[in-house]
Structure 1
Amino acid sequence: MNELALRVQDHPQDMADLQRAVALLEAPTLTARMANVVGAPLEFAVRKLPNAVSSRIQSVTEAALYKAAQAALLTMDRTQPGKRASPRLHKLAAAASGAVGGAGGLMTLAIELPLSTTIIMRAVADIARSEGFDLNDFATRQACLEVFALGGNSGKDDASETGYYMTRGFTTELMRHFSAELAGSAVKGHGLGLGIGPKEAGKWLAKIVEKVAARFGVVVSEKFAAQAVPVIGAVAGATLNTMFVSYYQDMARGHFIVRRLEKTYGFEPVRLAYQSLAGHMQG
C-alpha cells in the first residue's frame, strides 16, 4: 500500500475525494458523449472536413483560448479562495451561446467559440477557487489552462501521451523550458497578474495556449462536425455546449481535487494512489 493510502486511512474524506477525482477524470471522453448525442461516430465526419476548414477551426480555437485566458482569468473575483462554485449558471450561459451558434457554420463558430470558451474558462476558474486555489497564483492559472488539454489528444502526440498525468506532463515540460527566462524576471508591471512583467506574461500565455489549443482544437472540430450533421441545428448546439461546459467542469473538479491533495501529501504519493484507483476501475 502506498504512502498516501497509509496516511489517508486517518483522513477518509481525502480518500473519498481522490476516488471522486479518479471517477471524473477517467469517465468516458467528450468525443464519446457527443457521438451519443449525434447518434454516430464523429471520426468520419471530422475526416470529411476540408483541410482549409480544419485549419480555420484550429486558428479560431487558439485565438478563442487566448482571449478567454485574458478575459476570464482577469475578471474573476480572486479574493475568495474556497468560495462555493456556481456550475449551473455556467451551463445555462453555455446553452444560450450554443443555441445562437447552432447551425451557422464556420462564420458563427468564430463568434460563438470565443464566448463559449470564456464561459468554460470562468467555470474552470470558479471550481479552482472553490477548491481553495488562489487565482492570483501563477500555478493556478497554468492549471486552469491545463484543463482544456484534458478533452482530446493532438494528432501529433506520441501514443504514450495519454492519461491524466501524461497530459499534465506536457505543460510541466513546457514550463521547465520557460522557467529560466522567468527566473530572471523582476516582479513588476501588471501583465496577467502572475507576478511577472507584461512581456514575460504574454510569452508564457502564447506558449501554453499554443500547446493546449492543439488538444482543445480536436474536440472543437468534433463539435463543429457534429453540428454540421443534418437536422441537428440550434437544439444540438445548445445541448453540445451544455455538454462541453459540463465535461470541463468535471475535468476541472477532478484536476483541482488532485492538485489539492498533492499539496498535502506530495506529488508522487498521489500519482501512485491515483493510478492504483484507476487500475481498479478499468479491471
Structure 2
Amino acid sequence: MDDLELVEETFDLDREIEDLAKRYRAASNLGVQVLSVLNWPAESLLDRLPENSRSKLETAAVRGLEAAMSAASGTRSFVKDQKSWVNTATTTAVGIVGGMGGLPTALAELPVTVTMLMRSVQAVAAEHGFDPDEEQTRKDALLVFAATGPLTQAGKSADLTFLSSRVTLTGVNVYIGIGLIAPRLALVLGRKLAAQTIPVIGAATAAATNYSYSGYYQEMAQVVFGLRKLEEKTGTRYAELVELLSARLEG
C-alpha cells in the first residue's frame, strides 16, 4: 500500500508540474499577437519612449508597487476578490482610457493598472489558500512582478530566474524587496508604455496591451503560488520544484 501511495504521489507531482508548465507557456504567448499588430521588435520598444520618461521608470515602478501593495491589500476588506475574467476585463477597460491621450494619459493610468494587477495576483494567492496580508505571501506577490512580462520576443527559452530570486526576497522586508524588483519591472512597464503610445492604433492597442498584461500576471501568479502549494503538500524543496518546471519547459 505504501508503494502504491508513493507512485500516486509521484504521478500527481508530475501532473502538477505539467499543469504549471502549461500556464507558463500560456502566459508567455499572451503578448505575441500584440507584438504582431505593433510590427515593432520587442527589444526596441523602449527606444520609442522619450529619454526623460525612460529615466523615471524605475522610480515610477517603486512608487507604483508600494501604492499597489498598500491599496490592493486595503481594498480586500470591502471589495471581494473577482473572477480572473473580471479582473482582465476591468484592466483592459482602464487600458483603453489610458491609451486615448498618448503618453500623458498612459503615465497617469500606470499606477492604477499596477494596483489592479497586484489585486488580481493577491486573489490567486487567496485561491491557493494563502493569506495575501501575510509577509511571505506579499513577497511572493512581488516575485510575480519580477517576471519578464508579456511583450518579450517569442521563441526565446524559458526565463525562470525570477523564480530563483525568491531566496533573495526571503531575507528582506517587503519594501526592500520592492526596491530589488523595481529595475526589472521598470523595463516591463516601459514596453507597455511604448506599446500604448504608438500612433494610429491608439486605444485599441492600449486595451490589447493591458489584456495581455492582466492575463500574463495572473498566469504567473498561478505558477508562483502553485509551486509554493506543491512545496507545502509534497515537502519537496522549492528550488527542486523550479528545476523540475525548468526541465519540463526545456523538454
Question: Normalising TM by the smaller chain, what interval?
Answer: 0.7 to 0.9
Q: 2 CA distance for matches of 1:251 and 1:115? A: 20
Structure 2 equivalent of residue 124 of structure 1 = 121
Unaligned runs of 5+ in 1: 1-5, 153-161, 179-203
Q: Deviations over 1:249-276 (max 9, x none)?
A: 00001111111000122343x5435534
Q: Deviations over 1:146-178 (max 9, x none)?
A: 1111135xxxxxxxxx832x32333422442x3
- What is the 5 A alignment of 1:168-179? 168-176=163-171, 178=172
Aligned-CA RMSD value: 2.7
Are 1:61 and 1:216, in contact at CA under 8 Å, matched by a contact in 2?
yes
Aligned pair partner of 2:159 in 158, 163, 168: 163
Q: 2 CA distance for matches of 1:23 and 1:63? A: 32
- What is the 5 A alignment of 1:1-283? 7=6, 9-10=8-9, 12-27=11-26, 28=28, 32=32, 34-77=34-77, 86-152=83-149, 163-164=159-160, 166-176=161-171, 178=172, 204-268=173-237, 271-283=239-251
The 3 A distance-change label for structure 1 pair 276 and 138 is closer
Are 2:95 and 2:206, in contact at CA under 8 Å, matched by a contact in 1?
yes
Unaligned runs of 5+ in 2: 150-157
Superposed displacement of residue 44, structure 1: 2.1
Q: 2 CA distance for matches of 1:8 and 1:52? A: 58
The 3 A distance-change label for structure 1 pair 47 and 260 is same
Structure 2 equivalent of residue 200 of structure 1 = none
Superposed displacement of residue 120, structure 1: 0.6
Are 1:135 and 1:141, in contact at CA under 8 Å, matched by a contact in 2?
yes
Percent of residue pairs bearing the same amino acid type: 29
Are 1:73 and 1:141, in contact at CA under 8 Å, matched by a contact in 2?
no
Q: 2 CA distance for matches of 1:111 and 1:277? A: 37
Q: Deviations over 1:97-146 (max 9, x none)?
A: 10011142332133201111111111000011011112232111111111
Q: TM-score, normalised by structure 1?
A: 0.74
Are 1:8 and 1:15, in contact at CA under 8 Å, matched by a contact in 2?
no
Structure 2 equivalent of residue 193 of structure 1 = none
